[in-house]
Structure 1
Amino acid sequence: MRCLARLKLDEMRVGSVVIFILFLLFCVHGDNENEVEREDPHREPTRCEVCKIFSIELQGQFDKSKKSRAKIEVGHQLDAKGDRLKRVDYHTSEMRFIEATENICEEVLKYNLHAERRGSRRFAKGMSETFQTLHGLVDKGVKVDLGIPYDMWDLPSAEITVMKKYCEQLMENHEEDLEEWYYHHQDDTPLLKYICEDRALKKDEQECLLEVWTGMERVDGNSSDKDDEEEKKKKKKSKSKKKNRKGENDTEEPRHEEL
């Protein structure tokens, strides 16, 4: 009886170990799936990415007319001097607000998916490196089949179309917040912080707001991003100019004043 009881106990222990191992494998597999999903450049835009791009674009629209101190006439007002045209600052006028916001989500359609980049930088204006390469092959006479007609290559992708839809929802849900920022906080608080960080996004949804582009956030790990290359060239030219100036100063003969 003792042997039988001990055998059953050993079987229970083995069963527990097997269950524990299966549990660990399940957790690891789940984490790997989540990691793969986060790294997939073709995944749908996150709430953070949508809010970030929306705020950047809208802030850009307002910045275009930020320095204007013009006065505009917006109807009539009655006062002690009679019926007069009412004049208001364009900087805080309803006209400027409408001009900036009415087609803001159409700007999203100018973005493209840059599959070679990680994070929110996968969404950017301009043609991606992938499609630049593909267009280059076509120009050289190489047949490239993507499963869609050539004239549709540069149309907004499914991810960009979804982003525009989410942009419109964001605009609708936070219209009052935008008006509050525009009329009372546009000169003291960045729109990105006021809308995304403080209102639209939860704390665990703000990861993309903390991103800092270093050039290494590419899927292939390279840092040959064109923006970085241009920046390196500018720095190199600047150093070269400084070096040349220093050389000229070193070779310049000292001047002696006549007594």
Structure 2
Amino acid sequence: MGDKLITILLAFSFVFSGCIGGDEQSSAIDISVEMSGAPDSIHFIKDATNGSSIEEMEVSFDFTGTESSGGALTEFWLEPGDGSPRMSTNAADSKILIRNYESYGMFLAEAGANDSGENSIHEEITITVNGAFHLNQTSPTGVDEPADLHIDSMNVNSIQSPARLEISSTITNVENFAQFPPPDDVEITWQLFDPSGELIATHTQVIGEGQSYTWTHNEENPMDGGWNLIIGDAVDEENVNQETTALMIF
């Protein structure tokens, strides 16, 4: 009985020891990637018809500290994580890769290196790209009706939802120097709708001639998708300027 017990214990010991470190991988390459430019924001400049111009966010990946004991380094590469194609460079030509992100989200990128000895290694890097949406209508005469701001949804490849939506909208009642129509107050109403169409927040403010008012609103853990900020002016023939910014922050 004692011999059988010893045999069973030895068998279990052999199987268990064979599993330790079974998933570990080693490489002759010691990778070092220094990232600059993130976290930061992409800026979407909106017009009155919801057209957008984009100020992209440039992120650089510097492989200068990467070394290999298994051969000459041949390639540095990057999977940006936002759904865009893989990037690479000949290691003899450049040690830096630059990606211009065009959409916002939190992305899981992969940066890697290969050498002439067919060794390869990569590491995961989290890239945080906030979304900043701007709608400015400013002129000496103003506009009769302020435009609405559409806040576009994040990139579908984002690994996390935004933590907060911050809105700041300033309306100025442009001073009227003409005799007709006579100067008047304006009544502005802000309405914030979530992607499902539900009204989340609203505020109405009377703004005197030549005066400004800023409405702010923060929304924690905003629903994924496109949001809409509707801005209405209840007074005809009284012009306004607006400066509105919405931030999607991770």
TM-score, scaled to structure 2: 0.26
Larger strand proportion of the pair: 2
Larger helix proportion of the pair: 1
Q: Highest Rg: 1 or 2?
A: 1
